[in-house]
């Protein structure tokens, strides 16, 4: 499976790949190569979102993109909740290169307020929350608008997660399918 590397200089984004570090819900790296990759269709949709955000003076910070099935198992073992983590037996859109976790940043590189941080596996992370600050509600709506206008589907439980429509039409991808392994 050919995945498209995502990041500068070809994509005007900031990378903060949390699962390549201990700064994530598991507390340990679940893969060690800090490279964001997406299925070609997803990469095109990300480019469209980048183009829509640019006139607003906004950019994207990417927390996660393709996640090998082996890394999905590590995440599942650390936090096995269907509410927030896809069961690896069914397959995650991330493990197909069909999903991206991201937020908006301003022209100075500061994250816009979203009401919770990335991987806040609580009800506060759900898209339709009205019990978060009004600015966060606006920013979530802005992110949702940009991503849906670019052709992405959203996951209602995580404001940061966007995926291609019908991601299960794409095959799961493991470390062994890649030239360089991503596991720690």
pLDDT at 111: 98
pLDDT at 82: 65
Distance (Å, whole) CA 51 – CA 131: 31
Alpha helix segments (H runs only) across 54-168: 69-78, 134-149
- Largest distance between two CA atoms of the chain: 45
Whole-Å CA distances, 14 to 20, 23, 65, 151, 166: 15, 16, 13, 21, 27
Distance (Å, whole) CA 162 – CA 63: 12
pLDDT at 101: 94
Alpha helix segments (H runs only) across the chain: 40-53, 69-78, 134-149
pTM summary value: 0.88
Instruction: Show the low-confidence residues of the chain (pLDDT under 70).
Output: 1, 32, 72-74, 76-89, 175-184
Domains annotated for the chain, with CATH where assigned, are 4-177 (3.30.1380.10)
Q: Can 158 be counted among the known catalytic residues?
A: yes
pLDDT at 184: 38
pLDDT at 52: 98
Choosing from 83, 111, 158, 180, which is the catalytic residue? 158
Structural element, H or E, at residue 99: strand 99-105
């Amino acid at each position: 499976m050919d995945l498209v590397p995502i990041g500068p200089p070809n994509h005007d984004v900031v990378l903060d790949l949390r699962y390549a570090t201990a700064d994530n819900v598991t507390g340990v790296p679940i893969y060690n190569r800090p490279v964001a990759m997406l299925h070609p269709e997803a990469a095109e949709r990300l480019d469209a979102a980048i183009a829509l955000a640019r006139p607003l003076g906004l950019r994207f910070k990417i927390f996660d993109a393709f996640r090998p099935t082996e890394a999905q198992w590590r995440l599942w073992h650390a936090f096995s909740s269907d509410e927030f983590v896809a069961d690896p037996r069914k397959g995650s859109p991330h493990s197909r290169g069909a999903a991206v976790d991201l937020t908006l940043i301003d022209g100075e590189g500061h994250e816009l307020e979203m009401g919770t941080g990335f991987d806040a596996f609580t009800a506060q992370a759900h898209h339709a929350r009205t019990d978060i600050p009004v600015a966060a509600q606006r920013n979530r709506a802005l992110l949702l608008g940009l991503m849906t206008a670019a052709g992405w589907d959203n996951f209602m439980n995580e404001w940061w997660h966007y995926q291609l429509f019908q991601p299960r039409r794409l095959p799961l991808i493991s470390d062994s399918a890649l030239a360089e392994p991503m596991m720690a």
